[in-house]
Amino acid sequence: MNILILGATGRVGSQIVTYALHDRHHVTVLVRTPEKIQIKNDKQNKE
């Protein structure tokens, strides 16, 4: 499933990203400050 997460650097957003990646979904995130992303993924693609 493709999932778009807005606010992925917040408390709730980061948990949703973690769960979605764990369930092997394709995740796209929108954040104000990309440097705050703490989650690393093998298939990470920065555009």
Mean pLDDT split into 10-residue runs, the chain, 47 residues: 94 94 94 86 61
What gap in Å lies between CA 20 and CA 35, rounded to an integer? 20
Percentages (nearest 5) of helix, strand, coil residues in the chain: 30, 20, 45
Question: What is the rounded distance in angstroms from the CA atom of residue 12 to the CA atom of residue 24?
Answer: 19
Q: Do β-strands 26-30 and 2-6 pair in parallel, antiparallel, or remain unpaired?
A: parallel
Residue 25 has a pLDDT of 95
What pLDDT score was predicted for residue 20?
95
Going by C-beta distance under 8 Å and a sequence separation of 6 or more, which residues neighbour residue 32?
Answer: 9
